[in-house]
Amino acid sequence: MRAVVLALLVGAVAVLLAPSGGDCSRRSAAPATPSKGVAVPPSMHEPFIGVPFLLPGERLGIGYGLLGDPISAFEKLYLENKHGLTLVTGPAELVGHVRIDSPDKALRYVRLFTSPTTVKSFQLPVWLEVVPASVVDLEFLYGRKRTLEEVRRWLEIRREKREYGVVTDREWRALRLSAPSVKRVGANFVVTRGLVQITERSAWGTGIVQQVEETVSRDGRVTRNVVNKRKVPGLLVSLMPEE
């Protein structure tokens, strides 16, 4: 992440130092926005790997860019295909670009919007699934950690601090939370799982686990319905910036 941000900052400086006259074709393509500082368009720096629900020719990944005055870095989830990049703010942008035809794909699809690797891309409030550390692997993180050793190091920090909804296996058993379930209902799948809502960046969740049913259609439409809310004593889940 630091290397990406450094590269983007170099690009932004190049835009600021570009001469005002002469051949415009020699300047950087990144547009300047005087009222809001320099905007560097995003590019797909981290394509996800092993995303089984995407149609051929589509891919998902994290794009980085710079925006604002003072300049700050951002990361967002993007869909990339022959038409270019599309910012993903929720399931709506992926409708028609995915095929959900199995329970596994349904679960992985809804987890895309509550994953530690994507949740910072979305507008508040955001949702995090409370999971035991033992389920977090390369697949759960959509390949943003490239090796199991990277996953292990990431977990050493997150599970003790309960960041991104990850708790220790011992705590998971003590909290008596339920693992996600998926059932087919007609042409759709219904995923039931426990989520915690976060309303502020770098903030703690309330410790209230909401049992949510997410109805997923074959083309990627999602309807979320809160079935019940359960206060879990001692559970606080945080959304903290990556290091």
pLDDT tens-digit map of 186-220: 999 999 999 988 876 655 556 688 899 999 999 99
% of the chain surpassing 90 pLDDT: 29
Shared domain check, 199 and 131? yes
What is the predicted pLDDT for the residue at 74? 67
Residue 224 CA neighbour count, 13 Å, CB half:
15
pLDDT greater at residue 130 or residue 28: 130
pLDDT greater at residue 11 or residue 176: 176
pLDDT digits (tens, 9 = 90+) for 142-195: 777 667 788 887 777 676 666 788 888 888 888 788 899 999 999 999 999 999
Mean pLDDT of 5-29: 36
Shared domain check, 242 and 152? yes
Shared domain check, 204 and 128? yes
According to DSSP, the β-strands at 84-87 and 126-129 are unpaired
Q: Which of 113, 110, 92 is nearest to 100 (CA)?
A: 110
pLDDT digits (tens, 9 = 90+) for 40-54: 455 667 778 778 999
What is the predicted pLDDT for the residue at 236? 65
Q: How far is CA 179 from the centre of its chain?
A: 21
Report the predicted TM-score, pTM, of the whole model to 2 decimal places.
Answer: 0.76
Shared domain check, 130 and 239? yes
- Tell me: pLDDT of 242 over 80: no
Report d(CA 71, CA 40) in Å as an integer: 10
According to DSSP, the β-strands at 32-33 and 84-87 are unpaired
Shared domain check, 189 and 157? yes
Q: How far is CA 47 from the centre of its chain?
A: 12
> Domain total for the chain?
2
State both tokens at 209: 């686990």
- Tell me: pLDDT of 30 over 80: no
Q: Given 25, 60, 88, which residue is the final one in a domain?
A: 88
Q: Given 88, 120, 139, which residue is the final one in a domain?
A: 88
Shared domain check, 56 and 117? no
DSSP E strand boundaries for the chain: 32-33, 37-38, 40-47, 59-67, 72-81, 84-87, 126-129, 131-132, 166-167, 181-185, 188-198, 208-216, 222-231
Shared domain check, 166 and 116? yes
What is the predicted pLDDT for the residue at 97? 97
Shared domain check, 65 and 103? no
Q: Could you count the other beta carbons within 10 Å of the beta carbon of residue 66?
A: 21
Report d(CA 134, CA 140) in Å as an integer: 11
Q: What residues have CB less than 8 Å from 46, skipping those under 6 apart?
A: 61, 62, 144
Mean pLDDT of 78-88: 90
pLDDT greater at residue 69 or residue 46: 46
Report d(CA 49, CA 34) in Å as an integer: 37
Shared domain check, 225 and 151? yes
Range of the domain at 82: 1-88
Shared domain check, 211 and 114? yes
Shared domain check, 53 and 109? no
Shared domain check, 125 and 30? no
Contact 115, 126 (CB under 8 A): no
Residue 65 binned pLDDT confidence (cut-offs 50, 70, 90): low
Q: Given 31, 66, 88, which residue is the final one in a domain?
A: 88
